[in-house]
Amino acid sequence: MYSKHLLKNGLRVILMPMKGTETVTVLAATNAGSRFEMPQEAGLAHFLEHMAFKGTKKRPKAMDIAKTFDAVGAEYNAFTSKELISFYAKVASEHLDLGLDIISDMLLNARLPAEEIQREKGVILEEMHLYQDTPMRYVDDIFEELLFGQTSLGRMIIGTENTIKSFSREMFVNYQEGLYKASNVVVCVAGKINEAKDLKRIEKYFSGLADGPVRSKTSSPAVQAHPRARVHWKKTDQTHLMIGFHGYSIDHPRRFAAELLTTILGSGMSSRLFHSIRERRGLAYYVRAGSQSYTDAGYIAAQAGVTNKKVPLAIKQILAEFKKIKNERVSIPELRKAKDYIKGHILLSLESSDEVASWGAMQEILEKKILTTDELFRKIDRIGPADIQKVAKELFISRKLNLALIGPFKDARPFEKLLKI
């Protein structure tokens, strides 16, 4: 259950009361992720998220924010995606005012001191090195760069060493002023709340957020004439690979069918890829499949960590599973299992106020509407075997294949020859 409110300044507020919890989560999401950056600003959105914790007008130092949150045992953090910058705090319900106060203060009144910007550059460069030293994670970035090229969707959220070092305070101010507008922000409060009373509290803390024109994001067209492979050389004992196709945007009518398809392929220890790649052939410790949907693009992909000598065999077996689900309709029992898997994971995640707040805010800001679990489950239940096959036939085409690898390889051409389905 939820209620949606529009404040006088244009801010959207989502209230999601929950029974049986003593916590409350305040989440403020801004449609201001890395997709809104110019090439020379790559990494600026993520860096701006960091800077909100470095002090505000009311709490001038980073320690002032941290001590205040820690004093009440809060869980607090922020994250930047290609679409969003979000800040949240999960507190005992008696500390809701404090959560609203600090989150609004960070969003509206970050000081952005030049000396802290300079100091934080070193921190973010080390964060970038951490990602690059974690190939299981970094292969996602290589794959998206391959899919979307030199567009805002193809660039790494964290940016590059050159852009990170080049940022000035003025760039942060300009970026924030172009996107931190009331109509471009959603505040969601979930947990133990009193809707009438707490709506007034939210208005008190966020009424100072001004509205106005918002910077536009850049488009990322998905045009591909032939299969592509990209290797990132790294001396490893295991190759991490990601292989897949362009997919659907977040509002596409077949998006949920695509999610069911990837659940069948690679979610859980009874999935097709887990059985074929790990259980039957012992090629990988981890193997999975999933889909990613942005507001105007998306993809479906499988991912695995494979011993270097057996990469070609693993690729062939993954492609065989793609081909099988394209050519043969899934059975009713297998489809039912996938539906129940998705429903179960959603319901388990929504037992905590932070997940409920994220559920409401992400849907509202990216889709301009919120599906309840019942509404979502009805959509899922209407999908049949023919719908799954239709997605596979539409997306699983040889010329649209993409393969990213991190391992001790320097030439992508031998792998490109394997990309046929």
Residue 161's H or E segment, with its range, is helix 161-166
Closest CA to 103 of 118, 90, 113: 90
Rounded to 5°, angle at Cα 331 from 330 and 336: 100
C-alpha span between 361 and 88 (Å, rounded): 11
C-alpha span between 376 and 264 (Å, rounded): 18
C-alpha span between 89 and 99 (Å, rounded): 6
Cα→Cα distances 302→281, 296, 377, Å: 17, 21, 25
CA torsion angle for 266, 300, 34, 45 (degrees, to 10)? Answer: 0
Cα→Cα distances 233→198, 359, 408, Å: 53, 38, 5
Tokens linked to 91: 């507190």
Q: Residue 15, SS3?
A: strand
- The active-site residue out of 37, 49, 116, 145 is 49
Q: CB neighbours of 203 closer than 8 A, spacing ≥ 6?
A: 7, 13
C-alpha span between 333 and 387 (Å, rounded): 15
Q: What is the DSSP letter of 250?
A: T
Q: Which amino acid does the sequence have at 41?
A: E
DSSP for 213-246?
A: --PPPPP-----SS-EEEEEE---SEEEEEEEEE
Check if 49 is active-site.
Answer: yes
Q: Are 147 and 222 in contact, with CB atoms under 8 Å apart?
A: yes
Radius of gyration of the chain (CA): 23
Q: CB neighbours of 330 closer than 8 A, spacing ≥ 6?
A: 264, 338, 385, 388, 389
Q: Are 280 and 332 in contact, with CB atoms under 8 Å apart?
A: no
| Catalytic residue list | 49
